[in-house]
Amino acid sequence: MKNFDNFDEIFEGNLAAALHNEKNSTESSSTAESEVKGGKEKRFKASDKRLINCHTVDVNQLMPLKYKWAWEHYLNGCANNWLPTEVPMAKDIELWKSNTLTEGERLVIMRNLGFFATAESLVGNNIVLAIFKHVTNAECRQYLLRQAFEEAVHTHAFHYIVESLQLDEGEVFNMYNEINSIHNKDKFEMKLTEDVLRSDFSTESLEGIQKFLENLVGFYVIMEGIFFYSGFAMI
């Protein structure tokens, strides 16, 4: 049976505690409400966004879009999604095993496979390691992540070809170290990545922006537009 001799003391103590908790709850609610209001006041406009060197907009907040072309590229990339294993290789295998191709044609195919097998990886690494962190716009970052995935798919594609044709994977995937022409191309591109990966690199200076632009031109005009397409043309 409960003892109510000290009921008044218990009641007064509980009442004081309840009032104290109510006060803290009210203060917390006011603070939370103030923080919410403060957040609304700080909502940014699309025009506040910048591709690089943006210090006013949270890079994790996608909307509102400023660069709608970047979002469209992301959506188009998703719509065009594919995997190498979806491509039938039966006719290619038959051709490779036949005597139809000359030794020169086989050499061209092997050298191009050797170049592409690692070059696609270089492009993907450049996006993820060098470019991504300096892009301060959410929709552009979204597209870059999609593009990095595409480069991974391309690397997978060349592995799939090597595997399907039963080629020597050690020979193909080491050509960038063993064939001078391939090695020199890759060395040229890797230097561009290294320049942006330096610990003191920043796009805040004119020199930094120029280096950043040099990287983009080196990879997406020279590598993708010249090295890659010349290989496609030969094949």
φ, ψ of residue 54 in degrees (nearest 5): -95, 120
- Taking Cα atoms as reference points, which of 42, 49, 48 lies closest to residue 137? 49
pLDDT at 7: 42
Residue 58 falls in which region: left (phi positive, over 0), alpha (psi -120 to 50) or beta: beta
The rounded distance, in Å, linking the Cα atoms of 100 and 97 is 9
The rounded distance, in Å, linking the Cα atoms of 57 and 63 is 11
Fold of 68-234: Ribonucleotide Reductase, subunit A (1.10.620)
pLDDT at 38: 53
Residue type, 20: H
pLDDT at 232: 87
List the pLDDT tens digit at each of the 235 positions of the chain.
Answer: 445 455 455 445 555 555 555 555 555 554 444 454 555 657 888 998 998 999 888 889 899 999 999 999 999 999 999 999 999 999 999 999 999 999 999 999 999 999 999 999 999 999 999 999 999 999 999 999 999 999 999 999 999 999 999 999 999 999 999 999 999 999 999 999 999 999 999 999 999 999 999 999 999 999 999 999 998 888 8
Is-contact 141 135, C-beta < 8 A? Answer: yes
Is-contact 53 123, C-beta < 8 A? Answer: no
pLDDT at 186: 95
3-state helix, strand, coil in the chain (%, to 5): 75, 0, 25
Query: What are the tokens at 25?
Result: 């709850």
Which residue among 160, 176, 220, 229 is the active-site one?
A: 160
Q: Is 160 a catalytic residue?
A: yes
- Taking Cα atoms as reference points, which of 62, 84, 86 lies closest to residue 75? 62
pLDDT at 34: 45
